[in-house]
Amino acid sequence: MMRIYLIGYMGSGKSTLGKKLAKYAGLQFVDMDHYLEERNYKTIPQIFAEEGEAEFRKKERKALEELSEFSDVVIATGGGAPCFFDNVHLMNRTGKTIYLNIDPGILADRLMESKTERPLIKGKSKKELIHFIDETLKKRNEFYSQAHYQITDPDTGLDEILKMIERD
């Protein structure tokens, strides 16, 4: 049985890599943000606007508890997911965690171009975004760094990733 969690900042490429990795390894792919939206009949921007971030984090925890029982799956988690409650421990206990540790400059470029609506960074200029990424990464690194594995090169091969996981 294989359960892989991809963690990392918004724009780090968790969903893109997750889809490819799942296909390559013959596993199911689940995007946690989409799962959460379907379970709650609301989009993430709606949840933030109507219920606030604290309520979103509770729903995110609930989604994670459910997903931690899925088998043979690659799960692309929300960027903040490992940083609340004991979520990172839950992931480490129930699967293999991989942190996509991508350069903040690349994250800022990708997020400026992205069409996905993300309440935490909505309306920010490039300068404000860079500042926000720096500040949040300072806090989030403590959680991200607890992952079992890290990938810093976005072009790391799928076979290399699987070998890294299967080695231990």
Q: Site residues (CB under 6 A) for ligand S3P?
A: 10, 33, 44, 78-80, 118-120
Q: Which residue's CB is nearer to ligand S3P, number 79 or number 95?
A: 79
DSSP three-state, residue 140: helix
CB of 119 to ligand S3P, least distance (A): 6
CB of 60 to ligand S3P, least distance (A): 7
Q: Which residue's CB is nearer to ligand S3P, number 39 or number 163?
A: 39
Q: HSE on the CB side for 94, CA within 13 Å?
A: 20
CB of 79 to ligand S3P, least distance (A): 3
DSSP for 112-124, written as a single string: HH--S--GGGTT-
Q: How far apart are CA 79 and CA 155, in angstroms?
A: 20
CB of 136 to ligand S3P, least distance (A): 7
Q: Which residue's CB is nearer to ligand S3P, number 61 or number 118?
A: 118
Q: Which residue's CB is nearer to ligand S3P, number 25 or number 64?
A: 64
DSSP three-state, residue 101: coil
Whose CA is closest to 64, among 28, 41, 93, 42? 93
